[in-house]
A and B are shown apart, each in its own frame.
Chain A
Amino acid sequence: MAMRRSVATLIRNFRNVVPRSDLFLHSHATSFGFKEVREEEKSKLVGNVFSSVASSYDIMNDLMSGGLHRLWKHRLVSKLHPFPGMKHLDVAGGTGDVAFRILESIKSVRYRDVQGVLDGFGETQIYVCDINPNMLSVGKNRAIEKGLGDEQSLVWIEGDAEALSFNDLSMDGYTIAFGIRNVTHMEKALAEAYRVLKRGGRFLCLELSHVEAPLFKQIYDYYSFAVIPAMGELVAGDRESYQYLVESIRRFPNQETFAQMMADTGFEKVEYENLVGGVVAIHSGVKL
C-alpha cells in the first residue's frame, strides 16, 4: 500500500515538474529515465549504464524476467522467419542472445529441408551491432563458449543505431531487442533501419512496453520500482543502472504511439503483439 502511494506520488511529481511540451519531444532535451538531460549527455549516460551492467547483463535478465526473456526472444526470432543466405542486422544486440538464436534457427532449416539447393543464396551473414564495446566483448566470448568462435556467419561491429555503417538496401532483416528505448533519437534509428533494409525486408522490435490492466499494472509497478533496483544492487552491485532501466520503460512511447512512429518512417503492415499483458511488445513492419 505504501509503495503504491509512493509510486503514484513519484509519477505525479514528475508530471508537475516536466513542462507539457517536453512530453512530445524526441529531440533537444531528452529523457534518461525520469531525469531530463541534454541530448549530448544521454548517450554518455546510457554508455556508462551498459559498461557497468555488461558482465552481469544476462544473469540479471534471467532474474528480472524469471527466465521469460528467453521465450520472448524465441518469439521474436520465429516471427522473423530466418532463412539460409539471409543478411540480417541485430542492433543493440551486444551479448549476442538474438543473433545466436537466429543462427541456430537457420542451421536447423538448412539441414532439414534444403540440402543442396543453397548454392544460389550466398552465405548467411548475421551482423551484431552495438554501440558499447564491453557488451560486444561479452557477446564474442559467449560465442566462443558456444563453439561459435570461428563461425563465419557472425560478424561483430561497433556502431550507432542512429548512424548505421551499412549500405542502403543491404539487409533482409533488422531486429532490435531491448535496445531502442536507449537510443537518444528514436526516429533516427527507425529511419536508419528503413534505409538499410532491402525492399521486402522486415523490421522487428522487442521492447518493454506499457501495461494497462488496472490491478496487474499496480503489481507490475511495485515489482519495477521496489524489487528490480534492489535486485540490481544485490546481484550487479549497481542500483542506479536498474533504476534507470525501470524509469526508461515508463518514458518509452506506448504500443500505439511507437507503431505510429514506425508508420511515419515508412514501414507498412505495422503491427504489434503484446506479451504478458503488455510488459513486453513485439512491433513489426515491412519495407515495401
Chain B
Amino acid sequence: MVRGSTVLHLKGAGGVSKALLDIIVCPLSKQPLRLCQETQYLISDEIGVSFPVVDGIPCLVPKDGRILDEKDNMRLDKSTKEPITDNNMNKG
C-alpha cells in the first residue's frame, strides 16, 4: 500500500503530481493538459493555451490562459510531437 502511494505522488519539479495531471483538464476545451517541464506551465495543446503554476497552485481560471504564439518554445513540433526548443525550432 505504501509503495502504491509513492508512485501516485511522484511530482514534477514545482509540485504538480502525476495523479493531479490525470484528473485535471483544460477549463476551456476539457481536454488533458501537458506539463512543460522547462517552464512548468500547463499546456492545452488542442487550443494552444498555457496556464501558469504559481507557488505550486495550478492557475486554471480561463482568463489566466495565455495563447501560445508560433515561436513559443512550449508548443509541440507538429511532425515530431516534441516540444520545440532552440535546437530544433528551425527544422519544424
Contact = CB atoms under 8 A, between A and B. Distances in A.
Interface of A: 87, 118-119, 122-123, 125, 127, 131, 133, 136-137, 140, 152, 155-160, 163-168, 170
Contacts of A167: 23-25, 30
A166 B27 CA distance: 7
A156 B23 contact: no
B58 interface: yes
B5 interface: yes
Which 7 pairs show the lowest CB-CB distances between chains A and B?
A165-B60, A163-B27, A165-B27, A158-B59, A159-B60, A160-B61, A156-B57
Given A152-B9, A163-B62, A136 B57 contact: yes
Interface of B: 1, 4-5, 8-9, 17, 19-20, 23-28, 30, 33, 54-62, 64
A159 B25 CA distance: 11
Contacts of A131: 61
Nearest to B62: A163
Contacts of B27: 159-160, 163-165
Contacts of A159: 27, 60-61
Most chain A CB atoms below 10 A, which of B5, B25, B33, B56: B25
Given A164-B27, A166-B23, A157 B1 contact: no
A127 B22 CA distance: 13
Given A136-B57, A140-B55, 6 more contacts: A123-B9, A140-B57, A160-B60, A160-B61, A165-B24, A165-B33
Contacts of B17: 152
B57 A87 contact: no
A155 B64 CA distance: 19
Given A123-B5, A163-B62, A168-B30, A156 B25 contact: no
A123 B1 CA distance: 10
A168 B25 CA distance: 9
Contacts of A168: 30
Contacts of A125: 19, 23
A125 B57 CA distance: 15
A152 B8 CA distance: 10
17 contacts: A122-B8, A123-B8, A123-B9, A131-B61, A133-B54, A133-B59, A137-B55, A152-B5, A158-B54, A160-B27, A160-B61, A160-B62, A163-B28, A165-B27, A165-B58, A166-B23, A167-B30
Given A125-B19, A166-B25, A168-B30, A157 B57 contact: yes
Contacts of A140: 55, 57
Nearest to A127: B23
A170 B1 CA distance: 22
Given A118-B1, A119-B1, A157 B23 contact: no
Contacts of B64: 158
B8 to A, nearest CB: 6
A131 B64 CA distance: 10
Nearest to A152: B9
Contacts of B25: 165-167
B57 A158 contact: yes
A43 to B, nearest CB: 9
B25 to A, nearest CB: 5
A90 to B, nearest CB: 14
Most chain A CB atoms below 10 A, which of B23, B26, B61: B61
Given A118-B1, A165-B24, A133 B57 contact: yes
